[in-house]
Amino acid sequence: MRPSRLSSAQRRRGGSLWLALLTLVLAMYLTILPIPGWPFDYQPPWVVLALLFWCFAAPSRVGVLVGFCVGLMVDVLTGALLGQHALSLSVTAYLAIMLRARIRIFPLWQQTFFVWLILLVERLLTLWAIGATGQPMPPLTYWTPSLIGLFLWPFMSLLLTPMERRVGPR
């Protein structure tokens, strides 16, 4: 097919992948950006939230593979064990894709609760990888990013519907 005959919807969906990748790279940037006086444990889980958002908005584009690749990048960026975040983020993407159709029709508070569960699963898998490889155990504040994500999700879900209308399946 020649480029001129691409339908506008298709072009928009092609653009959605770039937009998603851009947001994900931005999320990685925010993850490693040091902010004075703002400890790491009290920062939102940028990458996980961005990944969840795009798995919900454009599941045909962003899924397990993107989650895996992003996780690998985060591992290299933060000097963590290779595969640690790749594991947790690909499972996160999978859960988001599988639960998406169900969660989207829930009222907002239930939807947020399920998102929180996914965030907890992500934390749990990373913790398991840390424990299984004998790295030092993190303190209890390790779990705070999931709580921050819980409070951020309602605002993100406001963006979700317009974005879905633009790029997602109809």
Partner 1 sequence: MLRSAAIKPLFARGPSPTFRVFFAALTALGLIVADHRHQHLEMVRSALAFLTYPVQYAANQPTELVRTTREQLASTHELRVENAELHRENLLLKARLQQFEALEAENIRLRDLLGSSLDLGERVVIAEIMSIELAPYRQQVMVNKGTKSGVFIGQPVLDANAVMGQVVRASPFSSVVLLITDADHALPVEINRNGLRTIAAGTGLSQELELLYIPKNADVRAGDLLVTSGMDGRFPAGYPVARVTTVRQDPDNPFTTVIAAPTARLDRSREVLLVWNLSETSRQQALAGDATKARGSQ
Task: Please say which residue, 37 or 170, places its beta carbon nearer to partner 1.
Answer: 170
Task: Please say which residue, 57 or 86, places its beta carbon nearer to partner 1.
Answer: 86
The least CB distance from residue 100 to partner 1, in Å, is 10
Tell me which DSSP letter residue 63 carries: S
Encoded amino acid at 61, one letter: R
Single out the residue of 24, 77, 68 nearest to residue 47, CA to CA: 24
Cα gap 84→89, rounded to integer Å: 9
Single out the residue of 151, 139, 150, 132 nearest to residue 41, CA to CA: 139
CB 157 within 8 A of CB 163: no
The least CB distance from residue 36 to partner 1, in Å, is 9
The least CB distance from residue 105 to partner 1, in Å, is 19
Cα distances from 97 to residues 3, 13, 19, 51, 112, in angstroms, run: 30, 17, 19, 11, 15
Task: Please say which residue, 17 or 107, places its beta carbon nearer to partner 1.
Answer: 17
Task: Please say which residue, 113 or 142, places its beta carbon nearer to partner 1.
Answer: 142
The least CB distance from residue 151 to partner 1, in Å, is 20
Contact set with partner 1 (CB under 8 A) = 1, 6-7, 9-10, 25, 28-29, 31-34, 40-41, 60, 63-65, 67-68, 71-73, 76-84, 86-87, 90-91, 93-94, 97-98, 129-130, 132-139, 142, 169-170
Strand boundaries in the chain, DSSP class E: none
